[in-house]
Amino acid sequence: MAMEKKLRDYIRPCGKMMAAGLTIKAGGSFLELLLPYILSMIIDDIVPSGNRRAILIWGGVMVICALLAWIMNVAANRNAGMVARDMTKSLRHDLFEHTLYLSCEKTDAFTIPSLESRLTSDTYNVHRMMGMMQRMGVRAPIITIGGLILCFLLEPMLALVFLAVIPFMLVVIYLRTSKGVPLYRGVQKANDHMASVTRENAQGIRVIKALSRTEYEKKHFAKANNALKDSEIHANLLMAAINPMMNLFLYAGMIGVIILGAYRVNAGLSEAGKILAFMSYFQMISHSLMAISRLFIMYSRGMASCERIMEVLNTENEKNWQPANEPDGDPQYALQFKDVSFSYLKVKDNIQHLSFALKKGETLGIIGATGSGKSTILSLLLHFYAIDAGAIYLNGKNIKNIEPDALRRQFGIVMQNDFLFSDTVKENIRFGREVSDEALQDAINNAQAEEFISELSEKEDSALTSKGTNVSGGQRQRILLSRAFAAQPDFLLLDDSSSALDYKTDSLLRKALNEKYPDTTMVIVAQRVSSIKGCDQIIVLDHGRVNGFGTDQELMKNNSLYAAIADSQMGGALFD
């Protein structure tokens, strides 16, 4: 497994830029600390002397210090923004890349809405935390500690009064921060659930409207929304207690300072300039301590999000693939399953003791009721999931010994719930691959898509909406078939790829498959017996087990389930 990733791995490349920004910020903070001290000196020492030139000089020094402090703070804040931006960009890029390489099993465990939330709101929280830490992480401690030191130099007695309330503030900050990270982790989990509900409703909006379930889904969303609200209220109430309690201690200290300061001035033990400077430092330190409290709140939220991000980044993915060094099989078979068993939840097998073998150019048909495991076989063949027992071989080589990307490049695939992107017909077929115009046109012709594509306003350059909602179901399937054919793969996996086609188009498609791809090994999952009737081998699945195996004629004679399916379709009706 690769070295564990931590936030500091993303901070390190920005180290020099961050160090420069923090140095500038520190310089600006020190200049700010000088202003009340210079003011005290002007009031108590220079003004009584009547030296106007000295007053102007030191007044000018104050203006210069204030101006420099402002310039340095602005420069440091801009630098902090750039560091946070660059670091978060790198973090988000790695998270997205890592997510793309996660196995389907790991993706299912995290869930898509949770991964989306980590890519968006969690990276945003880390960005805010990093920006705030640089802007206030240096300034607030310098102002607080430096202000206290200068307070002791000006008025030790008053400084002791102020110092007495600081331990109470630190205790408040510590107690709230220690609980902040787990609380905000819970908030993000509630946010994941709400994102999941939102995503499901957005994807199923047509079904919701068609079944008049709008009010029901409103209540469903309200439940998830209220859970997030309650989680946020619980976290925010606890963290919000910091500011009022900090204010309570600060104002208690200020009252003590004012009372004692007034007594000392009346008694001639102190001077007005020192008291004025002390009050300025008190305000600066108060604001800094409040900033520290906000900083810890932001830190709690940011670190909760960081933990969730690192949980994904430290999960093994296919980019870290290593060959399993499993024994290979018989090279005479292009595709072979040998006593394969698999379970999604590791409780009950979804596929049980499945075995078959195909030579190059042969075709396997798979049929069975919904949930019998047909699509699961294709997912195992593509190594989306690791099998629990048995072995799968491709041209005699165990697929555990084949790098996943190299394995999948050998396949042309049409999945049951395949996806069309918001792009042109041409680019949806090419799909980022180097496919010549001739190969593209051949794929379109073989998929029986030429007729309807030629009628589109801009033909292959016509734009499709996301999921292809601006074309019919049969047209979507033919575009997807064109995509599978375009790369001229060694293997074709067709999962219910003709269910939306009319019988004439389906017949033409089967004819094209037989004539144009004689050397291509195929696995065809179908609901129609007519779609797999001509296959060299047919598997009848029943609850993950092989109920029948053979040719169409053999199964019609020897397998009652297959015969019943064929009879129920009466020449082609869909089997439900």
Report the pLDDT averaged over residues 69-87.
91
Is 364 a residue whose pLDDT tops 80?
Answer: yes
Give the SS3 label for residue 407: helix
Is 575 a residue whose pLDDT tops 70?
Answer: no
Residues 143, 292: contact at Cβ < 8 Å?
no
3-class secondary structure per residue, 252-279: HHHHHHHHHHHHHHHCCCCCHHHHHHHH
Is 71 a residue whose pLDDT tops 90?
Answer: yes
In a domain, 42, yes or no: yes
Tokens, residue 179: 């609980």
Interval 479-492: pLDDT, tens? 888 888 888 888 98
Residues 556, 566: contact at Cβ < 8 Å?
yes
> Of 40-49, 57-66, 495-504, where does the model show the most confidence?
57-66
In a domain, 548, yes or no: no
- Domain carrying residue 190: 7-113+120-320
Name the DSSP letter for residue 3. Answer: P
| DSSP annotation string for 489-516 | -SEEEEESTTTTS-HHHHHHHHHHHHHH
- Domain CATH code at residue 161: 1.20.1560.10
The pLDDT > 70 percentage for the chain reads: 93
Report the pLDDT averaged over residues 319-331.
85
Residues 6+ apart with CB under 8 A from 178: none
How close are the terminal C-alpha atoms of the chain, in Å?
45
Q: Which of 421, 402, 418, 422 is nearest to 410 (CA)?
A: 402
pLDDT of residue 455: 82
Interval 515-542: pLDDT, tens? 888 888 999 888 888 888 888 999 988 8
Of the two residues 71 and 103, the one the predictor is more confident about is 71
Phi, psi values for residue 323, rounded to 5°: -60, 140
Cα distances from 470 to residues 177, 193, 423, 453, in angstroms, run 52, 30, 12, 13
| Total domain count, the chain | 1
Is 23 a residue whose pLDDT tops 70?
Answer: yes
Report the pLDDT averaged over residues 93-120.
87
In a domain, 502, yes or no: no
Interval 160-195: pLDDT, tens? 877 787 787 777 766 666 666 677 777 777 777 777
Report the pLDDT averaged over residues 399-413.
88
Is 89 a residue whose pLDDT tops 60?
Answer: yes
C-alpha to C-alpha distance for 512 and 524, rounded to whole angstroms: 14
Phi, psi values for residue 260, rounded to 5°: -70, -40
Q: How many CB atoms lie within 10 A of CB 25?
A: 24
Interval 262-308: pLDDT, tens? 777 777 776 777 777 777 887 788 778 778 777 877 887 888 888 88
Name the DSSP letter for residue 461. Answer: G
Residue where the block lists tokens 């030790």: 156
C-alpha to C-alpha distance for 561 and 34, rounded to whole angstroms: 91
Residue 564: burial class (beta carbons within 10 Å; 0-12, 13-18, 19+)? exposed
Size of the chain, expressed as the number of residues it contains: 576
Interval 438-481: pLDDT, tens? 888 888 888 888 888 888 888 888 888 877 777 788 888 888 88
In a domain, 277, yes or no: yes
- Cα angle for residues 372, 114, 342 (degrees, 5° grid): 25
Phi, psi values for residue 543, rounded to 5°: 55, 45
Of the two residues 231 and 210, the one the predictor is more confident about is 231
In a domain, 402, yes or no: no
pLDDT of residue 576: 36
Report the pLDDT averaged over residues 141-170.
80
Interval 200-230: pLDDT, tens? 777 667 667 666 667 777 777 788 878 888 7
The pLDDT > 90 percentage for the chain reads: 8
In a domain, 63, yes or no: yes
Interval 31-53: pLDDT, tens? 888 888 888 888 877 877 778 88
In a domain, 91, yes or no: yes
In a domain, 465, yes or no: no
